[in-house]
């Protein structure tokens, strides 16, 4: 196959940052062919009010006409009914829970899931989705997801009607927890966790551009992630967790966590699905399953990706992308958007 035509896709987990850089990252998402992106709220200050959510969405959509910003808010235990209702009325689809200190700008995160149960109860009532950064802050770094998901059965028992997304699943334990938790629990999968293991980051020379949270895991975890992505199970859909940091923040003694994948995400996925003889399943993974879980209509229109060599640029707006300087088998420049 030399080309692949897809319904226009969604990215259900993306970081667009703040200020003028946000405009560049939003345009990258639009130009990559995405119709909608679910925008994470861990900015400074965080997106935790209706006013901030509305202003952030307006900035994104003004910078990148044609891209729809789907909005989230940052969960903190003090959010009350009035604040949550206002966020819901402002268009929030989901609230994002960050455990304390596990990733970028999460120092004010929640220590225990139980500390936010009152917020979850209101979210369940309003029909908001709970997005979880699934890492336990007290666990060993490679085990943080496995320890965190032990709390999912109690969460589900307390909130049986709450829709839950375990974000950027990275481990076999995370996958098993999602599979065991019924149709109201789903998971996003990233391109970088599908393509790389911890050895790619630290097995030879340290590659800071592969440093992310949650960490890349073992080959057996990656094999399970690929199996889930290719399975056609609607509980698993695409969320890039594309997380840009300027080069000097990545190539530093204290390296920031995040991989910038937005401009080439569809090319990376096309290559992976093609290598596994599953190109016919890519559209559902990027264009259908996430929309259906969030109760959104499917996007109109299509785009066509071409199987032709494409050289990954050394940088976008001062940010080094994943696989910079290499050549991919599929071109990320969509035709027919």
Tell me the catalytic residues: 241
Dihedral sign for Cα atoms in the order 131, 133, 137, 140? positive
Cα separation, 330 vs 310, whole angstroms = 7
Q: Is 258 left (phi over 0), alpha (psi -120 to 50) or beta?
A: left
Strand pairing class (36-39; 10-14): parallel
Strand pairing class (164-166; 236-238): unpaired
SS3 167: coil
Counting DSSP H helices and E strands in the chain, the numbers are: 14, 12
Please list, in sequence order, all residues whose beta carbon lies within 8 angstroms of the beta carbon of residue 126, skipping any fewer than 6 positions away.
84, 85, 88
Cα separation, 77 vs 72, whole angstroms = 16
Cα separation, 23 vs 16, whole angstroms = 8
Cα separation, 274 vs 211, whole angstroms = 26
């Amino acid at each position: 196959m030399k080309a692949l035509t897809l319904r226009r896709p969604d990215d259900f987990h993306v970081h667009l940052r703040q200020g003028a850089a946000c405009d560049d990252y939003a345009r990258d998402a639009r130009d990559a062919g995405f119709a909608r992106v679910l925008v994470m709220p861990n900015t400074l200050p965080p997106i935790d009010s209706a006013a901030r959510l509305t202003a952030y969405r307006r900035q994104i959509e003004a910078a990148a006409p044609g891209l729809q910003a789907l909005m989230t808010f940052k969960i903190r235990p003090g959010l009350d009914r009035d604040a949550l209702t206002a966020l819901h009325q402002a268009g929030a689809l989901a609230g994002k829970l960050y455990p304390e200190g596990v990733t970028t700008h999460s120092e004010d995160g929640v220590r225990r899931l139980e500390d936010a149960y009152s917020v979850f109860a209101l979210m369940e009532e309003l029909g908001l989705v709970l997005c979880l950064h699934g890492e336990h802050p007290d666990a060993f770094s490679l085990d943080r997801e496995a320890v965190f998901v032990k709390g999912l059965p109690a969460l589900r028992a307390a909130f049986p009607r709450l829709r839950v997304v375990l974000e950027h699943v990275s481990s076999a334990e995370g996958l098993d927890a999602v599979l065991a938790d019924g149709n109201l629990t789903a998971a996003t999968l990233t391109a970088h966790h599908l393509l790389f293991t911890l050895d790619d980051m630290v097995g030879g020379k340290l590659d800071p551009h592969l440093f992310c949270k949650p960490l890349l895991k073992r080959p057996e975890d990656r094999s399970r992630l690929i199996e889930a992505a290719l399975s056609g199970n609607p509980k698993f859909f695409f969320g890039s967790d594309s997380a840009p940091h300027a080069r000097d923040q990545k190539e530093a003694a204290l390296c920031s966590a995040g991989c910038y994948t937005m401009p080439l995400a569809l090319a990376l996925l096309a290559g992976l699905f093609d290598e596994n003889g599953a190109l016919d399943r890519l559209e559902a993974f990027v264009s259908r399953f996430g929309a259906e879980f969030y109760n959104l209509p499917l996007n109109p229109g299509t785009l066509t990706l071409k199987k032709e060599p494409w050289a990954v640029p050394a940088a976008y707006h001062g940010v080094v992308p994943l696989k910079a300087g290499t050549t991919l088998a599929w071109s990320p420049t969509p035709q027919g958007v």
